Structure 1
């Protein structure tokens, strides 16, 4: 080391801090010169030897079991199809994809239903086509909604999936509005005329009754007549739609009131006034015809006709006797 602290002698293996020198292996010929003068291209460099892993160790554990189960399941399904039993299997347990989804916790375990009043949950789920064979993952919400809206007693429906295993069903029911009689059968209809069901509920007997072809579609106009009837409403038994154009009211005492095709509400108000002034509906008449705005045409009962004829006869007889004297 000189006075400046610099080492003037080469470090050798015998000196402290010296590195052990490895003898260099001479590179033969031109290749050796190239290797010493420049780096080899990437494709010519020696690759590091990779560690070889046996194939058995690369396959995940339990893969054999899974493959075996899948194989035997496929064989079982094939056998069911060949024997014609697959449909029975699906009917009892559901489709394979639903079974798999239920197995990982994506079944239908929590179903919330709101909006039902006259229906029950079992009937609603049956109409929707939902059972414990379904899974939430593969449930077709649009199809469920279409099935529900196909039911006449359901006006609207909203279906929502609540993962992992919940389903929400919110519906709006059509409310019974009137009874409709057609060809001897009695039906319950909604305000828009939709036939909800056959008449089986005795609590609905006081609903307005309409009769005839297409009368269910005119329940709103009939309701307007009942509103205009006021004190006479309780005396009206039913409304018969004639030729799809006008109403004839069937009264509780058997009397018929024929209303015009237009301005039927005004004609009803006129009937209320006539009955209040003269007790028209309590007289011996079969028909009150209000189709003409400036007159009322009455058809008497047979008894009334006979009594009227007898009275007329007596008047004539009295008149004749008076002349003879």
Structure 2
């Protein structure tokens, strides 16, 4: 687990790694990739870290700068010569694009050969998004080198996924990449134009509702209702035991709420102090069972008053009873 008590899990499914640039230049496929192991982002010296010389570090104006110790100059020059010779051949044959597709960019081939590949990836914070999805979205693959990947670009790719609220991508030289994500958690359901979406607390749309486990989340309807779902949840809290009888909240003209009850009754709430009106409704329900009566709407928009619209059958029966009562006199 990392410092935030989040589980760090192994990552599988990356492209096979490439062998030395000599094999790449020769056009042969490389040997198997070493795989990715996991480490705490602040503990690069743990067991299992690739056995390479550690970089020296210094603090410069608050930034952590790695001073890389490269292998011998002769080895680097030999690798560069071989890569250059191979590239000259493939370029003359018009196969450069295929070469890069198979083995990666020349600079990455050289960087990997001198120890700056991506040998381990740490991923933390994910719950709904899988490791493979994060790697695919960020664009991490075995053809890259840690020297030349763009951490900001990877972060922006991750942030483009609605489920991810925040992300950080950090490079730990010589060969480790750390990805930390913060997900948006499903908070409610929002219906607009007939489609129902799962939304986060801030109203951001996460996904289309296609899993029954989310059907019990607070449900709002109407333009802008997703951005004010917190208000609706506050109304549910004010309802107390009556909460289980409320099916959805409908935002009217982006000004006030109506409650759609499971019985089919519509409750019209005022724009000002709607929680107080809900508390009044809860009391009426406890004492008189108003939601179980033959009513269509309960209008609480005027403070201190309740206007009731009966069903057609109930209204007709009431009118008949009233007329009969007059005739009896």
- The structural deviation recorded for 1:96 is 2.1
Of residues 189, 211, 219, the one that matches 1:209 is 219
TM superposition shift of 1:67:
4.8
Q: 1:110 to 1:292 in 2, by over 3 A?
A: same
Equivalent in the alignment of 2:235: 225
Q: Over residues 210-245 of structure 1, what are the superposed CA-to-partner deviations in whole Å (9 max), with x where a residue is unaligned?
A: 111111000111111011010110000001111111
CA-CA distance at 1:88 after TM superposition = 4.8
Structure 1 segment 11-160 matched on structure 2, within 5 A: 67=81, 70-77=84-91, 79-80=93-94, 86-160=96-170
How far apart are 1:287 and its partner, in Å? Answer: 0.3
Counterparts of 1:231-250 in structure 2, within 5 Å, are 231-250=241-260
* Partner in structure 2 of residue 183 of structure 1: 193
TM-score, length basis structure 1: 0.73
* Aligned residue runs from structure 1 range 294-313, under 5 A: 294-313=304-323
Q: Which has the higher contact order (CA 8 A, sep 6+)?
A: 2
1:271-319 per-position Cα deviation (integer Å, ceiling 9, x unaligned): 1111122111111100011111031111111111121122123213322
Residues 115-152 of structure 1 deviation map (CA, whole Å, 9 limit, x = unaligned):
11111001111221222222211111111112212222
**Cross-structure match for 1:29:** none
State the distance in 2 between where 1:238 and 1:148 align. 33
Question: Is residue 290 from structure 1 mapped to residue 304 from structure 2 by the alignment?
Answer: no
Q: 2:185 touches 2:200 (CA, 8 Å); kept in 1?
A: yes
Match status 1:269 vs 2:279: yes
Greater displacement, 203-212 / 132-141 = 132-141
Report the CA distance shift for 1:181/1:89 in structure 2 as closer, same or farther (over 3 A): farther
Deviation (angstroms), 1:77: 3.0
Structure 1 residue runs of 4 or more that deviate by more than 4 Å after TM superposition: 60-69, 85-89
Provide structure 1 residue ranges, at least 5 long, that are not aligned to the other structure. Answer: 1-59, 320-325
Encode CA deviations 1:131-179: one digit per residue, 9 max, x unaligned.
2222211111111112212222112222221222211111111110001
Offset at residue 112 of structure 1 (A): 1.1
| Residue number in structure 2 paired with 1:161 | 171
Give 3-state SS (helix, strand or coil) of 2:298's partner.
strand
> What RMSD, in angstroms, separates the aligned Cα atoms of the two structures?
2.3
What's the counterpart of residue 288 of structure 2? 278
Structure 2 CA distance for aligned equivalents of residues 139 and 69 of structure 1: 20
Residues 248-263 of structure 1: matches in 2 within 5 Å?
A: 248-263=258-273
User: Which residue of the partner structure matches residue 54 of structure 1?
Assistant: none
Partners of 2:75 and 2:308 in 1: how far apart?
98
- SS of corresponding position for 2:327: helix
SS at 1:113's partner residue? strand
Question: Cα deviation per residue 1:75-107 (whole Å; 9 max; x = unaligned)?
Answer: 413543xxxx64454444332222222223322
- Cα distance in 2 for partners of 1:261, 1:66 equals 72
For residues 3-33 of structure 1, give each alpha carbon's deviation from its aligned partner in whole angstroms, at most 9, with x where no partner exists: xxxxxxxxxxxxxxxxxxxxxxxxxxxxxxx
